[in-house]
Structure 1
């Protein structure tokens, strides 16, 4: 009998997963759509190649404008005018950096972030990471349930309890689009994003914000740090921006493109994927800034600085702006944001479960499980405490998301900085230093937000 071959050192195993483990359908992330989207050859025009790679960035950008972001943007604009636009710009820069790192990891290694964690960390650590990710997705889905239910209540007078139950039906949208192909799913998401952008563009025009004051808001000011109330809302804006499950999602869906799995092919794909996510996150910047600008123009100067709830904003927008359709557009955008976020949450849940556990679950079962875990608290809180309790539940979901952020950001930056794993695609030392600084800032601010909220 031949003696057992000794296990290679951990450093050797970690260095090997760069290309060896991408073979075989069971090793691919989202195997049903892996490399399913064709891309033009290198000789094609830059526009055709950009359009072929566009899509994943827009799906990721959904998480940066979900209903959980709306409350902080509304509160910031109503209380402090345009001052906190600088914070929205800063948080968007952080998002652009981290999402580009996520895309780089997926394209360069053929592994999504969950698979990379499973390959690197021992089983006990992976179980903790998986549970943390599942909790984050449930918390995010909780915000989406609340946002969808509130939008249905504002548009059609449906109770929050019934709206939460109706939100289960989005599982059929996801199933239908996934069966048609990944490009159909991307087109649906981009379509809803366009609706959101159009709704807020109309509201910004109706609000007539002073251009000088609006542009000045993007310049950072010391009062953001010295004013405790302003700092609290600023931390909330940053804390609600970077979603942990987005980093897992992006590292997977960039692999849906059928680019050559060679060094030049991967390098080209990284460049186009970075352009895709950067352009898409500029749209997210516009929408988040538009929410704050509308709140500042409508509420800050009209004696309604205490507006912090979505329902209050809906009720006051049309009378203050003098545009009858303004409130309706606001609610339509909220419904589109909630619906969009459920799609990306479904995919992120599948990626995390398959990546960490190699456990495959039908998409409909995954969707119902995630949505069921989110609906139960909403139904219970609504039944016990009424509509007022739902706002507190939304705040709790953002706190839970803040707690899960280190479990995604730290492994991501650690992996893309490691030349043993990334080879020639590892980030440079200046970019690595910047990434660790951004990570430290996000984590410190999130922990402060968590401490202040609990205390």
Structure 2
């Protein structure tokens, strides 16, 4: 695939200028990336652990949320540092460092993590729609495919509009829980005591592991390292240092807001369920059902469902962006965002569909837990390379992390990897003991061994092998010899005419690229109903008038000594232009671009974009 740039999220790369701004305007210019990242810390996958912790142990596990948030803040700041200093996202840095086979496995695991994240979003959205409207869960799952087009629409308006949309959704979630907290009237003294570390029993330890395991999302580390590159900064030491500082402030505010939302869910569960003896509430549907009864308010469950939908929808956008970053970084493959979104969404919808159809809606909670286990398995493969990269003095220079930060990062990584491996081990052994199928058990054991081996490789390889510095982060080689540049001479130039005011620009641009020996081919596609049905056998009024107009253009050109001939095409506009161009062996094509985008592209079509895929000659689009 041909690339015009080799940057992460190239369509918005350095699209926001942070220079020549006042102090406050500069600060706000950097705000945004961390808010997109923060939605991953309050997605529907986190709700179950927060509800379980609050309903079973009251306020006693709030400190676990705070500790998880501090861990996340450190790791996200390392991800931002990689993107700002090296101009690489995590996927690109991995591709430069690890062997091809290891990279391919890391890519597959990252895609699994994206699918698992999307699975939680699908279920969250479907549950939210069911709670709000009573819609059956399987129909809610089906409807979530429609938000495939949301990202496409948002990307048309630029990264700032996308960030504003996400911030609005996060605000909806935060305000919804704030209102519910006011209704619940929690004891603030007891809430404050919850920040004192304590683990009442083994069940509380398991829930604490779940809270920590569901907090740091692997796709967020890929996402943050790319999003910070949307800001255009001065590439000197002072500019990089300022960018690191302002991004850290951005991350601190955004992740603390995410912490407040998670804390609000846990406090709400503690104040409403734990205090009334309902310690069995762990399912999102149960929590919604009991809110109206225990708070004596119809508003509370509505706000709960709205917050759940907003949380799922916001995570949808960021999950797709992360998928784009991972695919482009590891594979150097760029596909249309809507197709990328549709593939990711289908990977999430299919298992959700099957579970609901086969096992029923009661097993949705277990599927939600399974999605978090899949995320847990991938976490170490994102964190470990990240710490290696920001610890490397050769590539980071004076912005390499300090020894204290390095020790703390590795300690957090060891804890997270241990907790997640313990969670995976518990799930695997539980399944094996109750399964009795030797073949399936063998696959699980082999997969577990492969998991451990890959984990060791990600830790050891960068330490024993030199970074492959000769490999560029881009597609193109850094040293290019242009040789002797020769101006191309076109013998036959085709031009697709619209019979509008734009034709004059198309013709003048076509003639500008030719010479006295060039032959010009004028093409027009007849689009009447008769022409689309009968094709070249059409003889309706529009076909005759189009032929007359074409003959008029030819006469005018011939009178000026320009050699030209014309052809009418029928039916499909883009395919017919390409067919005539290829059949007549034209070596250059000029056509008009309408300049419309978004929904108008679907209505009017994307002629220029389609034609360039059907021909193998240079194409000039005149706006």
Fold shared, TM-score > 0.5 on shorter chain: yes
Residue number in structure 1 paired with 2:22: 44
Q: Is the 8 A contact 1:139 1:374 kept in 2?
A: yes
**Does 2:313 correspond to 1:334?**
no
User: Counterparts of 1:411 and 1:70 in 2: how far apart (Å)?
Assistant: 29
Coordinate RMSD, CA, aligned: 1.0
Give CA-to-partner distance per residue, 1:163-182, whole Å, 9 cap, x none: 11111111211111101111
Superposition map of 1:73-112 within 5 A: 73-112=50-89
**Does 2:194 correspond to 1:220?**
no
Residue number in structure 1 paired with 2:601: none
Q: CA deviation at 1:378?
A: 0.5
Where does structure 2 lack aligned partners over 5 or more consecutive residues?
Answer: 431-623
User: Counterparts of 1:253 and 1:217 in 2: how far apart (Å)?
Assistant: 35
**Counterpart pick for 2:151 among 155, 174, 177:** 174
User: Counterparts of 1:332 and 1:169 in 2: how far apart (Å)?
Assistant: 18
Residue number in structure 2 paired with 1:384: 358
Residue aligned with 1:301, SS = helix
User: Counterparts of 2:427 and 2:228 in 1: how far apart (Å)?
Assistant: 36
Q: CA deviation at 1:25?
A: 5.0
User: Counterparts of 1:114 and 1:169 in 2: how far apart (Å)?
Assistant: 28
Flag the structure with more relative contact order, 1 or 2, with Cα contacts below 8 A and sequence separation at least 6.
1
Give CA-to-partner distance per residue, 1:196-254, whole Å, 9 cap, x none: 00000001111111111001101112x35xx1000000000000000000000000010
Residue number in structure 1 paired with 2:217: 243
Q: Is the 8 A contact 1:409 1:439 kept in 2?
A: yes
Q: CA deviation at 1:278?
A: 1.0
Where does structure 1 lack aligned partners over 5 or more consecutive residues?
Answer: 1-23
Q: Is the 8 A contact 1:175 1:363 kept in 2?
A: yes
Q: Is the 8 A contact 1:62 1:341 kept in 2?
A: yes
Give CA-to-partner distance per residue, 1:52-98, whole Å, 9 cap, x none: 11110000000000000000000000000000000000000000000
**Does 2:322 correspond to 1:344?**
no
Give CA-to-partner distance per residue, 1:129-161, whole Å, 9 cap, x none: 100100000011000000000001011111111
User: Counterparts of 1:184 and 1:176 in 2: how far apart (Å)?
Assistant: 10
Superposition map of 1:389-400 within 5 A: 389-400=363-374
Q: CA deviation at 1:396?
A: 0.8
User: Counterparts of 1:94 and 1:169 in 2: how far apart (Å)?
Assistant: 35
**Does 2:171 correspond to 1:194?**
yes
Residue number in structure 2 paired with 1:298: 272
Residue number in structure 2 paired with 1:353: 327
Residue number in structure 2 paired with 1:165: 142
Q: Is the 8 A contact 1:40 1:48 kept in 2?
A: no
Superposition map of 1:137-148 within 5 A: 137-148=114-125
**Does 2:400 correspond to 1:426?**
yes
Q: CA deviation at 1:26?
A: 2.3
Residue number in structure 2 paired with 1:370: 344
More helix by share: 1
Residue number in structure 2 paired with 1:126: 103
User: Counterparts of 1:218 and 1:165 in 2: how far apart (Å)?
Assistant: 41
Q: CA deviation at 1:262?
A: 2.4
More strand by share: 2
User: Counterparts of 2:120 and 2:387 in 1: how far apart (Å)?
Assistant: 27
Residue number in structure 2 paired with 1:32: 11
Q: Is the 8 A contact 1:76 1:84 kept in 2?
A: yes
User: Counterparts of 2:424 and 2:202 in 1: how far apart (Å)?
Assistant: 15
**Does 2:291 correspond to 1:317?**
yes
Between 374-383 and 444-453, the greater mean CA deviation after superposition: 444-453
Q: Is the 8 A contact 1:133 1:245 kept in 2?
A: yes
Give CA-to-partner distance per residue, 1:321-348, whole Å, 9 cap, x none: 1222000000000000000001000000
Q: CA deviation at 1:317?
A: 0.7
Residue number in structure 2 paired with 1:17: none
Between 361-370 and 165-174, the greater mean CA deviation after superposition: 165-174
**Does 2:113 correspond to 1:136?**
yes
Residue number in structure 2 paired with 1:5: none
Residue number in structure 1 paired with 2:465: none
Residue number in structure 2 paired with 1:3: none
Q: Is the 8 A contact 1:150 1:163 kept in 2?
A: yes
Residue number in structure 2 paired with 1:65: 42
**Counterpart pick for 1:115 among 92, 108, 114:** 92
For the pair shown, which has the larger CA radius of gyration, 1 or 2?
2
Residue aligned with 2:273, SS = helix
User: Counterparts of 2:355 and 2:121 in 1: how far apart (Å)?
Assistant: 15
**Counterpart pick for 1:255 among 206, 222, 229:** 229
